Amino acid sequence: MGAMTYDLIVVGSGFFGLTVAEQAASELGKRVLVVEKRGHIGGNAYSEKDPDTGIEVHRYGAHLFHTSNRRVWDYVNRFTDFTDYQHRVFAMHDGTAYQFPMGLGLINQFFGRYYSPDEARALIEAQREDKDPAAATNLEERGIALIGKPLYDAFVKHYTAKQWQTDPTDLPPEIISRLPVRYTFNNRYFNDTYEGLPVDGYAAWLEKMAD
């Protein structure tokens, strides 16, 4: 069947490509051809079960679905059910695990006492020492100007050096525009209303979109 028999050709079968193709076919009645160079659909979100363990493996790195858009949530639930998984992260410092991103749980644990939200804000502000983030000449100066030296040294400096394989004093300040600190005990990594993992994996979800 020649390409001229299609109304639309979509290159790539990741989330974007399959959403465009599915909507054009189901809502507009168009004949759609999806072209994919890989041996599977799904783009970088592709997942498959490990044959030895049955564990779902995200071949190109972890993909965690989250959105606050009810229209998007209703749409994707047409193709898959989701688990109630909520992503949480911990950071290690001096042999101790801390809730991450930075919030009241981390602040109270790190500084060894209870801080109310207002007290925590005042603490961080004092540790910033009125430094202006916009005046920073490197990433380290900006990090300290944003959250103060104690938290920067413990949770940002070494991670950044490892990530970039460069001393933060040799990195431009533009790499970070902000370092979010939450003044609540909510330790979910994402703040979106809806979050989860597809029950049967991303491949099964995206195959249903492509049907």
Q: What is the pLDDT of residue 4?
A: 67
pTM: 0.80
Q: What is the pLDDT of residue 48?
A: 93
pLDDT more than 90, % of the chain: 94
Total Cβ atoms within 10 A of residue 148:
19
Mean pLDDT on 146-172: 97
Q: Where exactly are the structural domains of the chain?
A: 3-84+199-210, 89-175
| pLDDT greater than 70 at residue 81 | yes
Mean pLDDT on 21-29: 97
Q: What is the pLDDT of residue 122?
A: 98
Mean pLDDT on 11-29: 97
**What does the pLDDT look like over 120-130, one tens digit per residue?**
999 999 999 89
The verdict on domain 3-84+199-210 having CATH code 1.10.8.50 is no
**Per-residue 3-state assignment (H helix, E strand, C coil) for the chain:** CCHHHCCEEEECCCHHHHHHHHHHHHHHCCCEEEECCCCCCCHHHCEEECCCCCCEEECCCCCCEEECCHHHHHHHCCCCCECCCCCCEEEEECCEEEEECCCHHHHHHHHCCCCCHHHHHHHHHHHHCCCCHHHCCCHHHHHHHHHCHHHHHHHHHHHHHHHHCCCHHHCCHHHCCCCCCCCCCCCCCCCCCEEECECCCHHHHHHHHHC
Q: What is the pLDDT of residue 96?
A: 98
pLDDT band per the 50, 70, 90 thresholds, residue 76: very high
Q: What is the pLDDT of residue 177?
A: 85
pLDDT band per the 50, 70, 90 thresholds, residue 178: confident
Mean pLDDT on 181-205: 95
CA distances in angstroms from 187 to 31, 60, 86, 195, listed in the order given: 46, 26, 10, 14
Q: What is the pLDDT of residue 168?
A: 97
Q: What is the pLDDT of residue 27?
A: 97
| pLDDT greater than 70 at residue 101 | yes
Q: What is the pLDDT of residue 211?
A: 87
Mean pLDDT on 187-197: 96
Mean pLDDT on 41-50: 94
Q: What is the pLDDT of residue 2?
A: 52
Q: Which of 28, 34, 44 is nearest to 9 (CA)?
A: 34
Mean of the per-residue pLDDT values for the chain?
95
